[in-house]
Structure 1
Amino acid sequence: MKLLPLLTGHSSSRAAVTCTYRCGDACFHEVPNTSANPTFADVLTEVSRRGALKAGAVVALATGGLAATTAPALAEPEQGKPKPPPGLDFERVEPNTLDAVVVPDGYEQGIVIRWGDPVLPGAPAWDITRQTGDAQAKQFGYNCDFAALLPFDHAGLAALLVTNHEYTTETHMFPGYDENNPTEEQVKVAWAAHGLTVVLVTRSPWSGQYRPKPSRFNRRITLHTPFQVTGPAAGSDLLKTSADPTGTVVLGTMNNCAGGVTPWGTILSGEENVNQYFANADLVADEQTRKRLARYGIKGTGTVRKWERFDSRFDLTKQVNEANRFGWVIELDPHDPESTPVKHTHLGRFKHECANIRIVADGRVVAYSGDDERFEYIYKFVSNGKVKKGDSTHARRHNMTLLDDGTLYVGRFTGDSPAAEIDGTGKLPSDGEFDGSGEWIPLAAGNRSFVDGMTAEEVYVFTREAADKVGATKMDRPEDIQAHPKTGRIYCALSNNVERGNPGKEGATEPNPRLNNKHGQVLEFEEAGGDALALKFSWRLFLVCGDPAAPDTYFAGFPKDQVSPISSPDNVAFDRHGNLWISTDSAGALGINDGLYGVPLDGKQRGNLKLFLTVPKGAETCGPIVGDKVVTVCVQHPGELDGASADNPVSHWPDGGASVPRPSVVAVWKPGRHGLSDIGG
């Protein structure tokens, strides 16, 4: 294989316009985490001084860790082509830069729903030249990210489709848009284009083409939808504003990134890059407040979108606590269109990529979540209450309280290799893999804080500060985290971190082994003894992403000349065969479009990564749902390239012709003689 060409110029692998509108140019600002946590070398020095390195390795083995159970299975030479594992029997797609969704030979595709399509009664036909806030509040929102299909019948032909709408890109939404002087109506459209959508979709037995349908369950959640604040920080003085002196009701949710489906059928969604929406942080009088705002990347005066001109809650000199009311995990019950969604404070406040649930043997639940920014942390929550079985409204209401009472932890990861072998090049250490052990450090439980100098309320509202104080491990942008439904092993996408090793920044560590990390890695870890309640775990890097021909990549020991290139893993999912599926964001670092990949986790082909589909140029692949018969993905920000705009579109997907691009949900299926064939054979 030849090395793929790297993009040059813009220091991020995304277009500059995406960096501006999606995360407020986070990669071009100073890293918010300036804490002096123990470095990897410090940890090794201390471990060596105490003579405990060997003992730590023995403990990891004794607790049933990964090192004892899932050693890499190198592919053995075989005559002819090896048979693909179940669920991955498709011809891999070649990397490309086309303005299309590209799927394997023999598969078909169709648009499920697009930005501006009607969701609620009275929604007008979408017209880019006649947008209003009232119309957008009844239409499918912008930049769909996470998605879920909740079965609505036993045949799997009807479902409630729930999607996030992460952010708006006004320059691509409004012809003639003036970034310095947005109109009030344009701002109202943007407020309504954020949030979530619930819509009933149906298909026939002979097609994977889902179609939206009118339904009483159809719903739009926007920046004006009331949310109930729950958990131990509800009512805190840190959450009170003049509009809500109780600190228990927040209008809206925004910058919702990944999420999860709970075992009781509700949706969890993470509020991520909320920092960019709030103005005048530098003008706030109190110094400690300014420092705490800066720890969340909230700095400067005016904002790009200028919302502060039309609503004082986005001006921190007028409503300083408003920023504290965003950055939470929210929960929505799609089965009850009259229900009030909630914000769970016990899961902490940070740039939540997601929250995903697993139920342990005694009925309690564990939630994993990542803080998607450079040098941030991985968290775990363990409930005190237990799941009530059944799908009744009463059971759901009970289960929706489980995330409000428990213990919040943050992760510390320790490698098992000598510091000299982790040199930042990505070269494997002498034991053949990047691996080690870890522990969960408690932050708070209910009204009890475990962090010196911080109250429990402060831990929940300023969780990053609490994690700094206890010495959590700085990671390379923790994104989606999910537990395998069969093995219980946990998989976390670590997207990238080009700041690692820069002057004044932390260098390579064994879980983050490359300097100037453009391509990211996938972390695999297992709780001690397979018990999700354990406070110890073992870990290894399953994938070190990038060009397979490059020496700094690793695919679980599988021969690299047989795998697909991948950069910036974002979302993870599983199929019924137990394979891992990974969607990417910023594969432009390899000069290719983003895509969806499948990879076996066990057996001789463990690590044999295969590209299943790619999305159009400028787009990101989000929210994969890998069903038996149909795969769906969200195609976010198609055509979002520098120099493009609503007046000068460079993509015309999905409508073709001279149309502007529209973020959409896409379904992919394989037709067969008697309906649909299984995905991947």
Structure 2
Amino acid sequence: MTAPIRMLPLFTRSHEGGRSSMTCHYRCGDACDQPVPNTSDNEYFGDLVAAGVSRRAALRAGGAGAALVGLTAWSMPSAAAAAPAAPAGVVPAKGPKSALGFTGIAPTPATTDAVVVPEGFAWAPVISWGDPLFKNTPAFDFDNQTAAAQREQAGYNADYVQFIQGGAGNRGAHQGLVAFNNEYTNDELMFRGVASSADLTDEQLRIVQAAHGLTITEVARRNADSPWRWVQGGERNRRIHTDTPFAMSGPAAGSVHLRTSDDPKGERILGTLNNCAGGETPWGTVLSGEENFNQYFNATGAPDPQGRLKRYGITSAGRGWERIQDRFSVVKEPNEVNRFGWIVEVDPDDPTSTPVKHTALGRFKHEGASVALTADGRVAAYMGDDERFDYIYKFVSKGRYKEGDKKHNMTLLAEGDLYVARLSGDGAADGEYDGTGQWLPLVVDGVSKVPGFSVEEVLIWTRLAADVVGPTKMDRPEDVQPNPVNGRIYAAMTNNSSRTPAQIDEANPRASNKHGHVTEFTEAGGDHAALTFTWKIVLVAGNPSDPQTYFNGYDKSEVSPISCPDNVAFDKAGNLWISTDGMPGQLNYCDALYVMPLEGADKGKLQQFLSVPVGAETCGPVIINEDSVLVAVQHPGEVNGATPENVVSHFPYRGDGQPRPSVIHAYRRHGR
């Protein structure tokens, strides 16, 4: 599917993280305008040594001037000769065709209202906000929305996407299932005449609540050269929203800190909030991370003697949901907020199953969770806490995976050990940002390893427990994914403009890090159960003309600009795919999807595969094969000044006048 490329006025100003102010407000409750929640005194680079001298000591001795020298010394050289400096934002229109079988596209100006794909590819929407899921579900009607209809329609703002070809019962090559998160809503773009959440009627609040959660739908295609499309009335179709019952698993289930008036046993929770990234388990379930849940709770007047609310950013007046449900008032229901911030597991093949929140994996602003099997058959789950100066975590199950035993395998995330990462640099002499690290224990063999914290307290207030043991403060660790081909782990550090020169270290090497980077982890012995690892930064994002950027040693005259890496994924050859969130505000380009080989002659050759429309973010890439990619296009047209009367993007160009977040399919047009 194609649409005319139209250039529109750019209404947005970027926030600190590169997003529009509108996106920052609805996506994360203006997190970058709030104080950094992590005020612990963990060292930033006390163990980082360059040329036998502590860099920290050098910076302290030399003051601001030494800090600038340090930044210059630590800027990463390319393995190939550097290209002549180009004007800011200027790159070659197209690079040479890659071994991946497509010619990389040029960056798209941030005001462009179009999806752009490589030559030889086309795209089409798979499913969009409001599409009916069940046989009797009404068609979407922007001006006549109801909460009852939204509970049976695709949710708003797709993020993480999971694709299962065929699925249960071996349904064939042209049938499958798509599950995707519905992270947040933009109240100003969902309804006419709404300037803020305070303007919503009670019914509109219920519609907004129903638009959160997850959407599961069967999909089908005519043949291998046609796009996937959702199937209305599919037998596995399902909507999970803020009133869907969830069970709790793990050591904190039933804790006194999880009990409320409506759930005095602390074992049954209604709903899931702000679901960001996720992961697929070997047994075919969906893992979904509850991220910026804090913004939905009105904390006005709530006591916080131990700083637990502040550490989780629960300091705002919320989104007005307490008007229709007392549970979103921290004063009235102080434990309800503790029931969010978990990893959620859903069985997409069984629409009658009860989703589960796994307390053993800890509570924080989960970007997601991705799993791999250890050498002895246990399950390791890797997780990032998406906050400035927060941490990377790993969970290792007690039980072992049993091939074909789904019932057993769905218990594996209920019990195990939880760790947090500390990274140490080895100095700049080797010309790389790299070093060693260790997984610091939080809970092992059912015992708390954090002084002063019980197991329940470690799992419910994981951030505070981690502060005690001294992990490395990272630059907004988001998606953390195992590469199924080389066995290494790749983590996207989206950005952190709050990092000062005195706070840089080899693992987070730039002050005012507005572009972010990607770090590769190699577990000792290649075993995901290992407690030590080595690490290396393989991408320092930004414009290639910036001397601080680094593309795994590749010649920077042949790579694309990139900023704010968010999600990572892998194709069958193990190439790294990266989606972005913040390009418009940092490089004045639309957000995009990129691919970067990790081995061979093209190692580090980053190329852009597609771009999404003005105001949108690229999310949840699924690389089915070299000819077929699924992408979630989140918050299209979400720039300052946009309204239903002042439409900035018409994506997905279905003629209904309003932008509708969607999952799309980009596919090769064979023989056309």
The two structures have a TM-score, normalised by structure 1, of 0.88
Report whether the alignment pairs 1:558 with 2:525. no
Q: Could you tell me the percent identity over the aligned residues?
A: 52
How far apart are residue 363 of structure 1 and its match? 1.1
One-letter code aligned to 1:355: A
Where 2:629 maps in the other structure, the secondary structure is strand
Corresponding residue number in structure 1 for 2:437:
438
Is the deviation greater in 261-270 or in 35-44? Answer: 35-44
**82 and 308 in structure 1: CA distance in 2 versus 1, 3 angstrom threshold:** closer
Which range moves more in the overlay, 105-114 or 369-378? 105-114
Counterparts of residues 3-22 of structure 1 (less than 5 Å): 10-22=15-27
2:219 is matched with: 201
Cα deviation, residue 445, structure 1:
3.0
Residue 367, structure 1, aligned to residue 381, structure 2? yes
Matched residue SS, 1:40: coil
CA distance in 2, matches of 1:599, 1:182: 44
Are the equivalent residues in 2 in contact too, given 1:255–1:271 (CA < 8 A)? yes
Q: In structure 1, which of residues 96, 114, 121 is the aligned counterpart of residue 109 of structure 2?
A: 96
Counterpart CA distance in 1 for 2:31 and 2:301 is 20
Contact map agreement 1:73 1:603 (CA 8 A) in 2: no
Aligned counterpart in structure 1 of residue 628 of structure 2, from 627, 630, 651: 630
Mapping of residues 49-128 of structure 1, within 5 Å: 74=79, 86-97=99-110, 98-128=112-142
Residue 511 of structure 1: which of 472, 490, 507 is its match?
507
SS at match of 1:583: strand
Structure-to-structure mapping, 1:483-494, within 5 angstroms: 483-494=482-493
Q: Secondary structure at the match of 2:399?
A: coil
1:478 maps onto 2:488 in alignment: no
* Superposition deviation, residue 406 in structure 1: 1.0
List runs of 5+ in structure 1 lacking aligned partners: 50-71, 418-428, 677-681
Change (3 A) 1:431 1:471: same
- Distance 1:113-1:571 versus aligned 2 partners, 3 A rule: same
Please say if residues 483 and 570 of structure 2, whose CA atoms lie closer than 8 Å, have aligned partners that are also in contact.
yes
Is the deviation greater in 10-19 or in 596-605? 10-19
Distance 1:658 1:111, change over 3 A: closer
**1:533 paired to 2:546:** no
Paired residue for 1:296?
312
| Residues 523 and 530 in structure 2, CA contact (< 8 A), matched pair in contact too | yes
User: 1:414 maps to what in 2?
Assistant: 424
Shift of 1:181: 3.0
Q: Structure 1 residues 232 and 275, CA, compared in 2 at 3 Å: closer, same or farther?
A: same
- Report how far residue 75 of structure 1 moved: 6.2
Q: In structure 1, what is the equivalent of residue 496 of structure 2? A: 497
| Structure-2 separation of matches of 1:286 and 1:533 | 37
Displacement of 1:565 after TM fit? 0.4
Letter in 1 for 2:40: S
Q: How far is the alpha carbon of 1:90 from its aligned partner?
A: 2.9
Q: How does 1:267-278 map to 2 (within 5 A)?
A: 267-278=286-297
Please identify, of 582-591 and 664-673, the stretch whose mean Cα deviation from structure 2 is larger: 664-673
Task: Report the CA distance between 1:82 and its aligned residue.
Answer: 10
Cα deviation for residue 166 of structure 1 reads: 0.2
Quick one: distance in 1 between partners of 2:484 and 2:14?
42
Alignment partner, residue 601 of structure 1: 598
Q: 1:242 to 1:432 in 2, by over 3 A?
A: same
Q: Which residue of 2 aligns with 1:222?
A: 241
Other structure's SS at 1:197 match: strand
What is the alpha-carbon distance in structure 2 between the residues aligned to residue 384 and residue 76 of structure 1? 50
Q: CA deviation at 1:552?
A: 1.1
Q: Distance in 1 between matches of 2:637 and 2:209?
A: 22
The question of 1:236 aligning with 2:255 is answered: yes
Equivalent-residue separation in structure 1 for 2:159 and 2:96 (angstroms): 34
Residue 267 of structure 2 is aligned to residue 253 of structure 1: no
- Residues 19-65 of structure 1: per-residue CA shift (max 9 Å, x gap): 000000000000000000022036659x989xxxxxxxxxxxxxxxx
Alignment deviations for residues 529-551 of structure 1 (CA, whole Å, 9 cap, x no partner):
21111111000100000000111
The equivalent residue for 2:342 is: 328
Q: CA RMSD in A?
A: 2.2
CA distance in 1, matches of 2:102, 2:390: 37
Letter in 2 for 1:590: L
Letter in 2 for 1:216: E
Residue 27 in structure 1 maps to residue 43 in structure 2:
no
Seen in structure 2, the aligned counterparts of structure 1 residues 178 and 595 have a Cα distance that, compared at 3 Å, is closer
Q: Which string of whole-angstrom CA distances, capped at 9 and with x for unpartnered residues, describes residues 372-413 of structure 1?
A: 0100000001111011111xxxx2221111111110000000
Shift of 1:624: 0.4
Give matches, 1:115-194, under 5 Å: 115-152=129-166, 153=170, 155-179=172-196, 180-194=198-212
Deviation of 1:362 (Å) = 1.6
Task: Evaluate the alpha carbon distance shift between residue 652 and residue 408 of structure 1 in structure 2; reply closer, same or farther with a 3 A threshold.
Answer: same
1: distance between equivalents of 2:378 and 2:47? 36
Contact 1:443/1:451 (<8 A) preserved? yes
- Say which SS state the counterpart of residue 259 (structure 1) adopts: strand
Is this contact kept in 1: 2:152–2:239, CA < 8 A? Answer: yes
Q: Which residue of 2 aligns with 1:68?
A: none
What's the offset of the Cα at 1:87?
Answer: 2.8
CA distance in 2, matches of 1:28, 1:586: 16
2:645 is matched with which residue?
Answer: 647
- Among 394, 408, 422, the alignment partner of 1:398 is 408
Report the Cα distance in structure 2 between the residues aligned to 1:401 and 1:217, rounded to whole angstroms: 22
Call closer, same or farther: CA 1:109–1:8 in 2, change over 3 Å. closer
Q: 1:154 deviation in Å?
A: 6.5
Structure 2: tracts of 5 or more residues without a match? 1-9, 55-76, 83-93
Rounded Cα–Cα distance in structure 2 between residues aligned with 1:656 and 1:120: 21
Offset, 1:89:
3.4
What letter is aligned with 1:259? G
Distance 1:340 1:476, change over 3 A: same
Offset at 1:416? 0.7
CA contact (8 A) 1:75 1:604 kept: no
Q: Which piece of structure 1 moves more, 7-16 or 610-619?
A: 7-16
Offset at residue 73 of structure 1 (A): 10
- CA drift of 1:8 comes to 6.7
CA distance in 2 between counterparts of 1:219 and 1:9 reads: 36
Alignment partner, residue 420 of structure 1: none
Assess, with a 3 A threshold, how the Cα gap between structure 1 residues 453 and 651 changes in structure 2: closer, same or farther. Answer: same
Moved more, 396-405 or 84-93: 84-93
**SS of aligned partner of 1:524:** strand
Q: Which residue of the partner structure matches residue 56 of structure 1?
A: none
Q: 1:358 aligns with which of 372, 389, 396?
A: 372
Distance 1:399 1:9 in 2: 44
Find the residue that maps to 1:287 and give its secondary structure. coil
Distance 1:529 1:10 in 2: 42
Q: Give, in whole Å, the separation in 2 of the partners of 1:238 and 1:447.
A: 18
Matches within 5 A, 1:601-620: 601-620=598-617
Shift of 1:285: 3.4
The 2-side partners of 1:11 and 1:345 are apart by 32
| CA distance in 2 between partners of 1:473 and 1:495 (Å) | 16
Match of 1:548 among 537, 540, 544: 544
Q: Using the alignment, how far apart are the partners of 1:120 and 1:76 within structure 2?
A: 58
Q: Identify the residue that residue 66 of structure 1 maps to in structure 2.
A: none
How many angstroms does 1:215 deviate by?
1.5
Q: How far 1:510 sits from its partner (Å)?
A: 0.6
Deviation at residue 577 of structure 1 after TM alignment: 1.4
Contact 2:107–2:590 (CA under 8 A) maintained in structure 1: no
CA distance in 2, matches of 1:48, 1:470: 25
User: Would you say 1:40 and 2:38 are equivalent positions?
Assistant: no
Shift of 1:605: 1.3
Q: Does the 8 A contact of 1:208 with 1:668 survive in 2? A: no
**Secondary structure of the structure 2 residue equivalent to 1:99:** coil
For the Cα contact (< 8 Å) 2:278–2:370, is it kept in 1? yes
Q: Give the Cα separation in 1 of the matches to 2:510 and 2:400.
A: 41
Match of 1:62 in 2: none
